[in-house]
Amino acid sequence: MWLPVLALLTGLVIGYLSRLSIPAAYADYLAIALLAALDSVFGGIRASLSRTFNTRVFISGFFTNTLMAAGLTFLGGHLGVDLMLPASVAFGFRIFQNLGIIRNLLLNRSTAKQQSRPVS
């Protein structure tokens, strides 16, 4: 459970503290890559809460999804097909779906803990 959260926090800290600036020409690719990375992180958190988390699957999926999303956006840009909107919708849908599952898992755990407490 902690690996995806740690990876997200580490990336945020590095991004905040670095003085790296991304040229505007690459903004679309970075935005889609970021959405793909967030999708992988939330998927990892969901898998951890479901007790099906596998570090190798998470790491390979994180990099594969991120590179594939940026690559498809790049290819679509060169072919004259704007793939940014459909990719944003797809990743946004998956992120919200994972958040909903995470919320349900946490609520179910909380309810189970409350029901297992002895009544005083």
- Residue-wise pLDDT for 50-69, tens only, equals 999 999 999 999 999 999 99
Give the count of domains, the chain. 1
Distance CA 56, CA 37 (A): 15
Distance CA 6, CA 68 (A): 23
Domain-located, residue 30: yes
Residue 120, pLDDT > 70, answer no
SS3 118: coil
Residue 16, pLDDT > 70, answer yes
pLDDT digits (tens, 9 = 90+) for 39-51: 998 999 899 899 9
Q: What is the mean pLDDT of residues 23-49?
A: 90
Domain-located, residue 16: yes
Domain-located, residue 105: yes
Domain-located, residue 120: no
Is the pTM here over 0.85, yes or no?
A: no
Q: Could you tell me which of 44, 51, 97 has the C-alpha nearest to residue 66? A: 44
Q: Which domain holds residue 30?
A: 2-115
Distance CA 95, CA 41 (A): 9
pLDDT digits (tens, 9 = 90+) for 74-111: 898 889 888 888 888 999 999 999 999 999 999 998 88
